[in-house]
Amino acid sequence: MTSHALSDEPTRVAKLVGAFLTGQSGAVLGDGDGPHAILTAGADTRDDCAIYDLDGPVTLVVGSDYVRGAEFVLYEQGLLTNFDIGYYVVAANLSDIAAMGAAPIGVLTVVRYPHDLDDDAFLDIMAGIHQACTDWGTLNVGGDIGNAERIVLSGSAIGVCHTGTALTRRGARPGDYLCVTGPCGILGAAVAYFPKRAVNGWTLSDSIESDLLTSWRRPRARVAEGRVLSTGGYATACQDTSDGLKATIEQLAAASGVGFDVTEDDIAIHPAVSAVAKLIGSDDVTLAMSASADFQLAFTVPADRLDACRGAFARSGLTFDVIGRATAPDRRVAFTGRDGTRRALPGVAWKHQNTDISTLVTNAVPPQGGVPMSTEHTAYLGERS
């Protein structure tokens, strides 16, 4: 594309956004034989709100995430496109729906942009949003567009599940197995690597760099895994790992009032995480558990349901790893290393504007004022609501 047209907001709504919204009304959304919703008035009707007719008994699950799009550090470096950040805002919101075990029935998006963002760049953002919705079998049913000082993206995801099956963080019990749907830390590793690659003279193989960038360009919300956990009644507690694995385990423990014993040998490590850990002067387990916007699911399963849960995952072509066990409330979250020693969980837990992955990078320099940049939704992505 070579045009640099700058349409006004009504024109963008009528002529540009509309191409992604046609034929929505009447769509049946949900999960196969599970609860569903009929979108009786979608964004194609140009009403103020979308209208759903729900097939009950149904629980409606709604989540929202805010992303300050232009401040993705990888976007600023030209490593992410407008399409990529549009895709990301949908994945981030659907990940919250996935953690509740719901089937997505729609996404609302807010796209704010500077005056000089031309039509092609705007369309790229909308195309990313549309593609992500398509990939998860849902629809962008409306929202808002308009001007701002920079690109700002926000979204809300809507999902449904049978009443009484929604997953929360609060149900883990002593003896439950602690599980995770896949390796963590790769998005944090990308943020640790690329901003300092040139100044430090770091080099990694093309395949490793591709894996790091793909983790940001096409993040995967674990909707299918969440549905298995919800419909089968396997999980006693569940949460996505968008704050990093360490933070997620600690939050699950606090919400459920249990401790956890986590075993180092059971933590799966992605090869890209190992490669970056060597460069930044960290160990791979520490990096894997640190602040990272991964969208894996961490969940607990009773011991007598573990095999059945594995079987259900396998029938859907899915897998998970057992990484620990829930303990009595008076036990702390502990980590057993390969040498048999017990200590606190390694890594840097994401805490709003206070800690992030940069503290693991050798000679990392915090931004002006002494507060390190946050990995997930503050300096690297935008603020999480």
Q: What pLDDT band is residue 302 in, cutting at 50, 70 and 90?
A: very high
Q: What pLDDT band is residue 381 in, cutting at 50, 70 and 90?
A: very low
Query: Is 48 annotated as belonging to a binding site?
Result: yes
At residue 67, does pLDDT exceed 60? yes
What SS3 state is found at 311? helix
- Given phi > 0 = left and psi -120 to 50 = alpha, else beta, which region is 248? alpha
The pLDDT > 90 percentage for the chain reads: 65
Q: What pLDDT band is residue 16 in, cutting at 50, 70 and 90?
A: low
Q: How far apart are the C-alpha atoms of 49 and 29, rounded to whole Å?
A: 17
Identify the pLDDT of residue 357: 62
Look up tokens 């996404």; give the residue.
107
CB atoms within 10 A of CB 73: 17
Q: Of 287, 267, 269, nearest to 279 (Cα)?
A: 287
Q: Are strands 334-336 and 237-240 parallel, antiparallel or unpaired?
A: unpaired
43: which DSSP letter?
A: G
The secondary element (H helix, E strand) that includes residue 177 is strand 177-180
Identify the pLDDT of residue 355: 47
At residue 93, does pLDDT exceed 90? yes
| Alpha-helix residue ranges (DSSP H) falling in the chain | 9-11, 73-76, 82-99, 119-135, 186-200, 206-217, 223-231, 245-256, 271-280, 284-289, 306-315
Range 163-181 burial, b when 16+ CB lie within 10 A, else e:
eebbbebebbeeebbbbbb
Q: Which residues contact 44 (CB under 8 A, 6 or more apart)?
A: 18, 21, 22, 23, 24, 25
Query: Is 169 annotated as belonging to a binding site?
Result: yes
pLDDT tens string 185-220: 999 999 999 999 999 999 999 999 999 999 999 999
CATH number, span 9-162:
3.30.1330.10
Query: Is 136 annotated as belonging to a binding site?
Result: no
Q: The whole model's pTM is what? A: 0.86
Contact 334, 216 (CB under 8 A): no
Burial of 271 (0-12, 13-18, 19+ CB in 10 A): middle
Query: Is 358 annotated as belonging to a binding site?
Result: no
Look up tokens 């089937």; give the residue.
103
Query: Is 240 annotated as belonging to a binding site?
Result: yes
Query: Is 65 annotated as belonging to a binding site?
Result: yes
Q: Packing angle between helix 271-280 and helix 186-200, nearest 10 degrees?
A: 40
Identify the pLDDT of residue 310: 98
Query: Is 243 annotated as belonging to a binding site?
Result: yes
Identify the pLDDT of residue 383: 34
Question: CB-side exposure of 299: number of CA atoms within 13 Å?
Answer: 35
pLDDT mean across residues, the chain: 86
Please state the domain extents for the chain: 9-162, 177-360
Instruction: State the distance between the two ends of the chain, measured CA to CA, in whole angstroms.
Output: 35
Query: Is 144 annotated as belonging to a binding site?
Result: yes
At residue 370, does pLDDT exceed 50? no
Q: How far apart are the C-alpha atoms of 185 and 103, rounded to whole Å?
A: 26
pLDDT tens string 241-259: 999 999 999 999 999 999 9
Identify the pLDDT of residue 99: 95
Identify the pLDDT of residue 371: 31
Phi, psi angles (nearest 5°) of residue 278: -65, -40
Does domain 177-360 sit in CATH 3.90.650.10? yes
Query: Mean pLDDT, to the nearest integer, of 21-26?
Result: 78
Q: Of 177, 341, 340, nearest to 260 (Cα)?
A: 177
Query: Mean pLDDT, to the nearest integer, of 125-130?
Result: 96
Q: How far apart are the C-alpha atoms of 255 and 258, rounded to whole Å?
A: 8
What is the per-residue DSSP string for 331-349?
SPPEEE-TTS-EESPPS--
Identify the pLDDT of residue 43: 75
Q: What pLDDT band is residue 369 in, cutting at 50, 70 and 90?
A: very low
Min mean pLDDT across 54-58, 128-132, 348-352 is at 348-352
Helix, strand, coil % in the chain, rounded to nearest 5? 35, 20, 40
Q: How far apart are the C-alpha atoms of 56 and 70, rounded to whole Å?
A: 41
Min mean pLDDT across 138-152, 168-182, 254-268, 347-361 is at 347-361
Q: What pLDDT band is residue 375 in, cutting at 50, 70 and 90?
A: very low
